[in-house]
Structure 1
Amino acid sequence: MGKHKEENEDLIKYGFPEDVWFHVDKFSSAHVYLRLVEGLGIEDIPESVLEDCCQLVKYNSIEGNKENNITVVYTPWANLKKTGAMAVGQVAFHQPKEVRRYKIEKRKNEIVNRLNKTKEESFPDLAGQRAERDRVERNKVKKASAEARDLDKQRQEESAKKKEMQSYDRIMVSENMRTNREIAQ
């Protein structure tokens, strides 16, 4: 979660594709990110985790925290759109249809208190984390490509062997051929 718009800007810039972004709709608020486990999508977020993230965003919005019946918007990080003309911390969306909404009637203090008690504050190197993640992903892609090339090469070799086995070229060698006269003698 970003504390202020400059931190929010860094989170926008260095987010991971598996991150889900949360923000109070129509009010300023902290940007909260939920990092999903590899293989899970936005539709796989458990209801309790979704509620926690939305309550956290509401609580960290000056105007939104005071209001009841607010909406929290959330979307995959990759759907965030940032242009040079936008203010610091401001975003738009590439695909507005990918933006989901979660209605919060009122703040649930028991959730907010639980989250605040377990809160750990850190100042990670977001650029470094993103660079490391990208390096790992590139290595996965390279490994998968190498495995695909090896498998393709193996298939080609097997195909060539099968073709050779079915070929008459080995049988019809002129040195092995004899005429009927040679056989009769």
Structure 2
Amino acid sequence: MVLFFESAVVDPPVTIYMGKDKYENEDLIKYGFEEDIWFHVDKLSSAHVYVRLQPGQTWLDIPEQVVEDCAQLVKANSIEGNKKNGVTIIYTPWDNLKKTPGMETGQVTFFNHKKVKRVHVEKRINEIVNRLNKTKVEREVDYQHEKIQREKLDRKAAREHEFLEKERIQQLQAEKQKAEKEINDMFDSSNMKSNYREHEVEDINAAEEDFM
């Protein structure tokens, strides 16, 4: 079972979720989405908490209020961390989580330690934890099915983007060809007219003779 929460500190609200135990955490590590951000108490046992951002957003887009909600929820769901003041919460994109052979169930490390941020939580703020707990919903999740469906949507979006990009390129090429044709037509000798007018030259010559 997975526990889901809603954080309405931003609009639209974001979904926060966590596994009920270490076995659920293992599945969450395996089947996360690209826009999922993972939170955990640093160097202490705690729940694995994720926030799901909007598609296309990255961990650099996560609002500070959402970081605070997740950090408070992680602290509240750590046996040791909940008792202590001044704990550090770490967070990183889901795709930075790394499993290596021999790791215990639910245990992770990182591909890139530079992509791990830290936030200091001095104490538990009951107002935040209680607000989030009021939105809590527990439900079963078919991780593999959800992952497959999401990948289908991603592929569809990629195809649509590719189609629109091809259309854009074709339009630019057509506009370029049209501009080149207009320039070529402008300098086509068959379309050019001479400024020479014979009678005007004769008049000028006559005027010069009269002057002399």
Task: Give the TM-score normalised by the residue count of structure 2.
Answer: 0.71
1:17 alignment partner in structure 2? 34
1:7 alignment partner in structure 2? 24
User: 1:32-67, CA deviations, whole angstroms, 9 ceiling, x for partnerless residues?
Assistant: 000011343323322222111111111111121122
C-alpha change, 1:149 and 1:67, in structure 2 (3 Å) is same
**Partners of 2:179 and 2:56 in 1: CA distance:** 39
1:76 alignment partner in structure 2? 93
**Runs of at least 5 residues in structure 2 that lack an aligned partner in the other structure:** 1-17, 191-212
Report percent identity of matched pairs: 54
1:128 matches 2:150: no
2:160 alignment partner in structure 1? 143
Cα RMSD between the aligned structures? 2.4
Report the AA paired with residue 75 of structure 1. T
User: 1:117-156, CA deviations, whole angstroms, 9 ceiling, x for partnerless residues?
Assistant: 2211112222211211111111111112122233334444
Which residues of 2 match residues 37-116 of structure 1 at below 5 A? 37-116=54-133
Task: Give the TM-score normalised by the residue count of structure 1.
Answer: 0.81
1:177 alignment partner in structure 2? none
Count residues with an aligned counterpart: 172
**Partners of 1:44 and 1:146 in 2: CA distance:** 28
C-alpha change, 1:96 and 1:162, in structure 2 (3 Å) is same
Report the AA paired with residue 77 of structure 1. W
**Runs of at least 5 residues in structure 1 that lack an aligned partner in the other structure:** 172-185
**Partners of 2:74 and 2:143 in 1: CA distance:** 20
Bigger strand fraction:
2
**Partners of 1:161 and 1:115 in 2: CA distance:** 59
